[in-house]
Amino acid sequence: MKIVMLGAPGAGKGTQAKMLADRYGIPHISTGDIFRYNIKNGTALGMEAKTYMDQGKLVPDELTVRILLDRVAKEDCRDGYVLDGFPRTIPQAEVLAGELDKISDRIDFAVNVDVPDENIVRRMGGRRACLSCGATYHVEYAKPAADGICDRCGGELVLRDDDRPETVKSRLAVYHEQTQPLIDYYEKAGVLRTVDGTQDIQVVFDDIVRILEG
Ligand code: ADP
Ligand code: AMP
């Protein structure tokens, strides 16, 4: 099963994508996590991506698409994957569809996690991320067992640089301008499904599973 997660930054795409990946035994692929991993390790790719990410802008399509296509070509993606944060522009979606078309394949579902902008700022301000393993928490809604420490790997939890309120505003503007048109794009392709992302994490998950298995 090949799934694309759509939604504003902070809508809960990553949270749900990880749960779906566990349930279906397929990889969770987050282009944001790949960039952050590269930044942490000081690679040239990381340095380039950081200049865009810190301003709340998108990393250029050419670079992002190359990273994503390399990742989905790996053996563990043969039976499917959950894409989180990709595609974020129509050209990215078109390249992905073109690559899948070459092997007579396509995206099965684009799950739109719908959360209004008012809720997003609170979500992002409270998000804490583990830069070692990519796990995500929230100071109010999804607390780790011990403050500031990742349950999964013991790593340190931090407020992402791009989750500061000033950057969140630009990221939301970029979302509405460049990413939201994908909702129409996948609707036209007949694979769009929308869930109410303001509900509890488990309720959102149950809704998505019902859609995928319905
Ligand atoms: P995205 O991947 O879409 O940017 P995340 O999955 O990282 O979003 O979620 C953003 C923040 O909101 C995180 O701190 C996460 O723990 C929290 N969160 C995710 N889903 C919910 C939900 N349904 N209700 C409340 N908080 C949530
Ligand atoms: P995320 O972890 O998905 O919230 O992504 C964090 C940041 O990484 C975004 O604000 C962008 O700067 C960059 N990024 C992640 N995925 C993409 C993408 N598909 N296209 C362009 N930039 C991306």
Catalytic residues: 13, 88, 127, 160, 171
Predicted confidence at residue 78, as pLDDT, reads 94
Per-residue CA distances from 30 to 6, 33, 103, 158, 166 (Å)? 12, 5, 23, 18, 23
Tens digits of residue pLDDT in 52-103: 999 999 999 999 999 999 999 999 999 999 999 999 999 999 999 999 999 9
CA distance 75 to 89: 26
Ligand 2 center to residue 214 CA distance, Å?
31
- The atom number, within ligand 2, closest to the CA of 33 reads 2
Identify the pLDDT of residue 27: 98
Ligand 2 contact via 31 beta carbon (within 6 Å): yes
Region 185-210 average pLDDT? 98
CB distance 10 to ligand 2 below 6 Å: no
Q: Which of the ligands is closest to the CA of residue 6?
A: 1
- In CATH, 2-27+74-115+177-213 is 3.40.50.300: yes
- From atom 10 of ligand 1, which residue's Cα is the shortest distance away? 10
Distance 105 CA to ligand 2 centre (A): 25
Taking the CA of 136 as reference, the closest ligand is: 1
Locate tokens 């990709």: which residue?
86
Q: Is 120 in the pocket of ligand 2 (CB under 6 A)?
A: no
CA of 11 to the centre of ligand 1 (A): 6
pLDDT band at 206 (very low <50, low <70, confident <90, very high): very high
- For ligand 1, mutation pick of 36, 141, 157, 172 (most atoms within 8 Å of CB): 141
pTM value? Answer: 0.96
